[in-house]
C-alpha cells in the first residue's frame, strides 16, 4: 500500500524540526526538540549520537547518505547504478503529475532515486548495500527502485558478496501502476535466486517500512533486524482503523511488537547496527567458509535454468 | 429475480422497466402497443450498444465487482471435473477467502488456487469478501508446494480487493506471508497459469496471481491499489475513485500494453454475468491452450522464462 498522509505529516515534522518553522524559541539548526520526550537537544550532540535522543533513545529518521556513512566501513562505499532513474511510463497525472513529484524529490533529497546501492565493506566483509531514502516520494518502489534492487542482488551473486538492505518505504509507487506492483514479484524472485547461492542477506527495517516493500524483499532476508520504534507493516494505519472501526494499540506494528510476535530476529539500536551486522556476517559469511553451501559452487549469474 | 443494476446502467435499466410495463399492458389490455414496443426495443438496443461498447476503467471496476459475476467456485464447478477441495494452512486455520482444490480440466490434473468471494452476504461474511488473512496465503502456499511435489500445474484464479487490512492479519504477519508466496511462485517448479477473473487488488492479488501466463478477462482489473484507496490518498476523498481509476493503468488492455498480461478473454456485452456459459467455455479454452504449451516444455526452461519475464518488467532510464 502506498503511504498515507499520516506518514507525510510525520515526515514534514521531522525534516523541519531544525528549521525556523518550529514554533518559537529555538535558534536555527542548533537545537532540536525530541518528538518523543520533548527534551531539547544540541544538534552537535545528536549528530554524535547517530541521531538518537540522548534522553529517551528515540531514533530520529535519517537519510540514505547518513545511513551509509554509519554502516559501511569508512571510505569503502562505491555507488552502483547511480544513473538508473524513474521515468513516467503511465503519464500519471491525478492531482499532481508524477514528473513534478520526481523533480521535487530529486531537489529535496539531492538523490537521483529513492534507493542508493553500492559495494562496501562491513566489518571487513564485502557486501552490496542498499539504503532507501524516505525523502524521495516516501521511498516508494517503482520500476527504477525494483531494478536497482534486482541488480544489487545479481551483482552480489556474481561477486560473492552478502547483501544488506536498509528499508524505509511507504510501499509500492502507485504512480507507476501495475509496473510497480510487479516489482514486488521481481525483487522476491531475486532474493530467492540469491539465496540459492548460499550467500547471506540481512535486512534492517527502519522507520517506516510498509506495504509492498515489507511484503517483498524486505522480509525475505536470512536475518531481519529492525530499529527501535520503527513502524512496520502491510496495510496503512488509517485503512486498518477504517476497516475494523477501532483504535489501534499504542505499540501496534512497531519493531518491538513484531519482535514479540516472532516476525523479526531482533530490535537493534542504531549505535549497535554496524557491529551487529559485522558479527552476523562473521557467522554467515565467515572467513574460511565463504562458500559453505553447495549452491555457491555454481558459476554465478549463468544459472538461468536453475532459478 | 431483479438483476443488480450498476450505476452506469441505470438509464438502460429504466428503459427496460418501461418496456416490461408496456408488454404487461399489451397483454392485459386490448390496446395495441406493438409499435411503441418495437420502438422502445430499438432504442434499448442502441443504448445497450453505446453503453457497453467502450466501458471506462471505472465502469469496468463496477462490472468486475458485479455480485452475479462468476466467482472462483463457479469456475471450479463449471470447468473442472473430479474436484477435491482441500482445507487449512496446517498452522492456524482454514481461511475460506482462499479456495484450493485438486481438479481436472479437460483430462489434465491440476491444482486450483483462487480467491473466493461469497455469492450473498452470509457467504461473504464467512469468506471475508474474498480478502485473505495470513492463513489464507499460507493455505495457498501449501497448495503451491504440493503442486510442485506432484507435478501438477497450478491454475490460479484472481478475484480480491486485496489482503485483509486488519489488526490480527498484521499481527500474524500479512506482509511476511505475501512475500513468501511471491518468492515461492517465482521459483515453483511446475507451470503456473494465472487468470484475472474479477478484481485484482494489490499485493493480496499478486500473492497467488502471477506465473508463466497471465490471462485477463476483458472487464477484470489488476492494480497496485484499489481506485478508492488511491483516491483517498491523492484527493483525500475515496468517492473520487472514478477519477483515479483511469490513472492507474489497471484494465486488461492496459496490462497487455504494459506487457504484463498475455491474453484477454472477451466477455459478452455488458459483462461475464450476462452469459456465464460463454465465459466458462472461453476461459477453459484459454487455460487449456496455455497449459498445453507449458506442460510440454522442460521445467527449467519454463522457470528461466518466468524469471526473465519478471526481470524485464519495469520502465526506467539508464541515464547517459
Asked if residue B258 has pLDDT above 80, the reply is yes
Residue of A nearest to B227 (CA): A174
Neighbours of A42 (CB within 10 A): 12
What's the pLDDT score for residue A289?
42
Task: Answer yes or no: are the C-beta atoms of B245 and B225 closer than 8 Å.
Answer: no
Task: Give the pLDDT of residue B196.
Answer: 98
> Within a domain: residue A53?
no
* pLDDT for position A95: 81
Q: What is the pLDDT of residues B117-164, one digit of tens each?
A: 999 999 999 999 999 999 999 999 999 999 999 999 999 999 999 999
Query: Which pTM was predicted?
Result: 0.90
Inform me whether the C-beta atom of residue B165 falls under 8 Å from chain A C-beta atoms. yes
Chain B residue with the nearest C-alpha to that of A112: B319
Instruction: Between B184 and B319, name the one with better pLDDT.
Output: B184
For the segment B176-203, the average pLDDT, to the nearest whole number, is 98
Please tell me the least confidently modeled range out of A178-187, A246-255, B22-31, B249-258.
B22-31
Minimal CA–CA distance to B47: which of B16, B91, B70? B16
The alpha carbon of residue B149 is apart from the nearest alpha carbon of chain A, in Å, by 16
3-class DSSP assignment, residue B263:
strand
Mean pLDDT to the nearest integer, B59-88: 97
Does A74 touch chain B if contact means CB atoms closer than 8 Å? no
Q: What is the DSSP-derived secondary structure letter of residue A261?
A: T
What residues of B are in contact with residue A189 (Cβ under 8 Å)? 182-183, 186-187, 307, 310-311
The mean pLDDT of B86-110, rounded to a whole number, is: 97
Residue A12 falls inside a structural domain: no
Neighboring chain A residues of B261 at a CB cutoff of 8 Å:
none
Question: What is the tally of structural domains in chain A?
Answer: 1
Provide the pLDDT for residue B91: 94
Show the low-confidence residues of chain A (pLDDT under 50). Answer: 1, 11-24, 288-307
Which residues 130-169 of A are in CB contact (within 8 Å) with B? Answer: 142-144, 146-147, 150
Distance, CA of B237 to CA of B228 (rounded, Å): 8
- CA nearest B288: which of B177, B199, B206, B213? B213
- Residue A300's pLDDT is what? 43
Q: Tell which residue, B132, B225, B146, B214, has the closest CA to residue B177.
A: B132
Interchain proximity B319–A94, CB inside 8 Å: no
In total, the C-beta contacts within 8 angstroms joining chain A to chain B are 226
Mean pLDDT, rounded, of chain B: 94
Residue A226 touches partner B, C-beta closer than 8 Å: no
What average pLDDT score do residues B238-260 get? 95
Residue A294: inside a domain: no
**pLDDT tens-digit map of B32-68:** 778 888 889 999 989 888 888 889 999 999 999 999 9
- Chain B residues touching residue A216 (CB < 8 angstroms): 178-179, 182
Neighbours of A281 (CB within 10 A): 21
Which residues in A lie closer than 8 A to residue B318 (C-beta atoms)? 83-84
Within a domain: A196: yes
Give how far B142 is from chain A: nearest CA, Å: 17
Query: Looking at the domain assignment, is residue A238 inside a domain?
Result: yes
Residue pLDDT, tens place only, A192-251: 999 999 999 999 999 999 999 999 999 999 999 999 999 999 998 888 988 888 888 889
The proportion of chain B whose per-residue pLDDT surpasses 90, expressed as a percent, equals: 81
A298 close to B (CB below 8 A) = no
Is B114 strand, coil or helix?
strand
Residue of chain A nearest B299, judged by CA positions: A305
Position B24 scores a pLDDT of: 82
Give the gap in angstroms from C-alpha A215 to the nearest C-alpha of chain B: 4
- Candidates B189, B190, B162, B193; CA nearest to B178 is B162
- Classify residue A245: in a domain, yes or no: yes
The reply to whether ipTM tops 0.90 is: yes
The pLDDT assigned to A239 comes to 87
Share of chain B above pLDDT 70, in %: 98
Packing angle, helices A237-244 and A5-15, rounded to 10: 140
Q: What is the CATH number of the domain that holds A248?
A: 3.90.226.10
> Which pLDDT does position A9 carry in this prediction?
52
Residue A217 belongs to a domain: yes
**Which domain, by its residues, includes A106?**
62-288
Q: Do B224 and A174 lie within an 8 Å CB cutoff?
A: yes
Amino acid at each position: 500500500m502506498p503511504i498515507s498522509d499520516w506518514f507525510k505529516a510525520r515526515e514534514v515534522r521531522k525534516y523541519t524540526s531544525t528549521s525556523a518553522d518550529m514554533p518559537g524559541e529555538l535558534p536555527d539548526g542548533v537545537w532540536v526538540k525530541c518528538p518523543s520526550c520533548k527534551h531539547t537537544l544540541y544538534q552537535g550532540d545528536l549528530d554524535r549520537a547517530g541521531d538518537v535522543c540522548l534522553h529517551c533513545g528515540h531514533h530520529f529518521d535519517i537519510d540514505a547518505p547518513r545511513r551509509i556513512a554509519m554502516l559501511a566501513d569508512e571510505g569503502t562505499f562505491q555507488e552502483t547504478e547511480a544513473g538508473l532513474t524513474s521515468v513516467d511510463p503511465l503519464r500519471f497525472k491525478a492531482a499532481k503529475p508524477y514528473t513534478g513529484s520526481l523533480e521535487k524529490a530529486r531537489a529535496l533529497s539531492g538523490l537521483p532515486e529513492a534507493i542508493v546501492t553500492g559495494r562496501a565493506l562491513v566489518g571487513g566483509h564485502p557486501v552490496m548495500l542498499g539504503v532507501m531514502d524516505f525523502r524521495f516520494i516516501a521511498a516508494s518502489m517503482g520500476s527504477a527502485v525494483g531494478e536497482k534492487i534486482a541488480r544489487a542482488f545479481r551483482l552480489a551473486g556474481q561477486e560473492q558478496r552478502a547483501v544488506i538492505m536498509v528499508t524505509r518505504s511507504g510501499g509500492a509507487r502507485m504512480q507507476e501502476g501495475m509496473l510497480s506492483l510487479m516489482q514486488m514479484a521481481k525483487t522476491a524472485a531475486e532474493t530467492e535466486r540469491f539465496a540459492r547461492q548460499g550467500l547471506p542477506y540481512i535486512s534492517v527495517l527502519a522507520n517506516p517500512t510498509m506495504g509492498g516493500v515489507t511484503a517483498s524483499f524486505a522480509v525475505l532476508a536470512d536475518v531481519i533486524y529492525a530499529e527501535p520504534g520503527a513502524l512496520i507493516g502491510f496495510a496503512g494505519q488509517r485503512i486498518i482503523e477504517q476497516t475494523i472501526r477501532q483504535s489501534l494499540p499504542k505499540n501496534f506494528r512497531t519493531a518491538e511488537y513484531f519482535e514479540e510476535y516472532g516476525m523479526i530476529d531482533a530490535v537493534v539500536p542504531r549505535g549497535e547496527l554496524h557491529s551487529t551486522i559485522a558479527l552476523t556476517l562473521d557467522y554467515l559469511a565467515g572467513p574460511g567458509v565463504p562458500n559453505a553451501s553447495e549452491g555457491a559452487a555454481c558459476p554465478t549469474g549463468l544459472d538461468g535454468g536453475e532459478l | 429475480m431483479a438483476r443488480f443494476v450498476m450505476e452506469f446502467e441505470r438509464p438502460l435499466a429504466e428503459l427496460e422497466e418501461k418496456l416490461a410495463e408496456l408488454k404487461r399492458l399489451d397483454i392485459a389490455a386490448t390496446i395495441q402497443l406493438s409499435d411503441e414496443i418495437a420502438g422502445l426495443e430499438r432504442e434499448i438496443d442502441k443504448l445497450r450498444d453505446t453503453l457497453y461498447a467502450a466501458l471506462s476503467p471505472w465502469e469496468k471496476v463496477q462490472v468486475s465487482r458485479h455480485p452475479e459475476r462468476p466467482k472462483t467456485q463457479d469456475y471450479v464447478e463449471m470447468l473442472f471435473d473430479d474436484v477435491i477441495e482441500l482445507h487449512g494452512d496446517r498452522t492456524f486455520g482454514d481461511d475460506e477467502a482462499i479456495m484450493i482444490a485438486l481438479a481436472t480440466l479437460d483430462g489434465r490434473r491440476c491444482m486450483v488456487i483462487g480467491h473466493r468471494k461469497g455469492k450473498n452476504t452470509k457467504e461473504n461474511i464467512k469468506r471475508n469478501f474474498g480478502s485473505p488473512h495470513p492463513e489464507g496465503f499460507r493455505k495457498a502456499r501449501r497448495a503451491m508446494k504440493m503442486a510442485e511435489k506432484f507435478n501438477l500445474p497450478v491454475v490460479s484464479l484472481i478475484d480480491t480487493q486485496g489482503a485483509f487490512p486488519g489488526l490480527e492479519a498484521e499481527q500474524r504477519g500479512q506482509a511476511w506471508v505475501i512475500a513468501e508466496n511471491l518468492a515461492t511462485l517465482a521459483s515453483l517448479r511446475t507451470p503456473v497459469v494465472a487468470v484475472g477473473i474479477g478484481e485484482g487488488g494489490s499485493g493480496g492479488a499478486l500473492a497467488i496471481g502471477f506465473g508463466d501466463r497471465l490471462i485477463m478477462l476483458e472487464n477484470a482489473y489488476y492494480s497496485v491499489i484499489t481506485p478508492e484507496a488511491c483516491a483517498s490518498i491523492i484527493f483525500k476523498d475515496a468517492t473520487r475513485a472514478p477519477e483515479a481509476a483511469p490513472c492507474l493503468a489497471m484494465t486488461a488492455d492496459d496490462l497487455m500494453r504494459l506487457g504484463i498480461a498475455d491474453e484477454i478473454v472477451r466477455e459478452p456485452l455488458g459483462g461475464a454475468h450476462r452469459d456465464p456459459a460463454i465465459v466458462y467455455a472461453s476461459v477453459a479454452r484459454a487455460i487449456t491452450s496455455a497449459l498445453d504449451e507449458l506442460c510440454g516444455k522442460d521445467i527449467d526452461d519454463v522457470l528461466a522464462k518466468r524469471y526473465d519475464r519478471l526481470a524485464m518488467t519495469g520502465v526506467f532510464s539508464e541515464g547517459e
